Amino acid sequence: MNRNIIPLLAIAALPFFSTAAYASSDEAWKELAADVEAKCKKAAVAIEAPAATVDPFGSAHYALALVTGRPKGAKGLVAQICVYDKQKKSVEIGSELDAKKLGLMPAK
């Protein structure tokens, strides 16, 4: 009779193990997003006080972010696409895109 209880205990404990794995995975995603945001902001040297919006999913190999802000020494709003290589943990940033042309400016 004692042997019959072991599978039942294993099944009962399963939700606790899956919750712990999910929690650590959630924490890992938060850490990745924070690293992407920090590195993309640092890479956006042409933008004053850049703001980065991280794509919550990205792709299998890359994390993505849209960096926006006022160009240094100019008026207006620009955006740059930032690509983060998940394996190398490095970023590349695209050229400045006019936020008005992208439809990111509020309508007047």
Q: What whole-number percentage of the chain has pLDDT above 90? A: 56
Give the number of other Cβ atoms within 10 Å of residue 46's Cβ. 17
The DSSP 8-state label assigned to residue 59 in this structure reads -
Q: What whole-number percentage of the chain has pLDDT above 70? A: 75
| Phi and psi torsions of 79, nearest 5° | -135, 150
Q: Could you report the per-residue pLDDT of 2-24, keeping only the tens digit for each?
A: 555 554 444 555 454 444 444 45
In angstroms, the first-to-last Cα distance of the chain is 77
Asked whether the whole model's pTM tops 0.75, one would answer no
Residue 108 DSSP SS3? coil
C-alpha 28 chain-centroid distance = 11
Structure tokens at 101: 């042309």
